[in-house]
Structure 1
């Protein structure tokens, strides 16, 4: 199930794990994760896209 950015932010609030900690655990730049969660647009490519997929705000698309 795809989540909204608000749902992801709410999940972080309830989980007790910070966004920065999640980013470091998953080898992402905390600044980039914060930017994605502040923006209302879902990223299309690159590391931002990989972060969005990992956060659950975007579905992974596989190319055949």
Structure 2
């Protein structure tokens, strides 16, 4: 899945990025960075966000 597809999925489910961040215990700015593709989600919280959004495979540790 691409970041654009993840954005579309959130839109279709009626969830804002801020709401998604709150529900999942993530920082809003990090969620936006991953969704915009400015953060590739290689390490730390960004990686956990990318896995949770389905952008990457792996474990969200």
Q: TM-score normalised to the size of structure 2?
A: 0.85
Q: TM-score normalised to the size of structure 1?
A: 0.82
**Alpha-carbon distance in structure 1 between the residues aligned to 2:9 and 2:53:** 10
Specify the alignment match of 2:46 in structure 1. 48
Q: CA RMSD in A?
A: 1.4
Q: Deviations over 1:4-62 (max 9, x none)?
A: 1111011111111111101100000011100111125632111110110000000006x
Moved over 6 A (4+): none
Larger radius of gyration: 1
Specify the alignment match of 1:31 in structure 2. 29
Number of corresponding residues: 59
Specify the alignment match of 1:57 in structure 2. 55
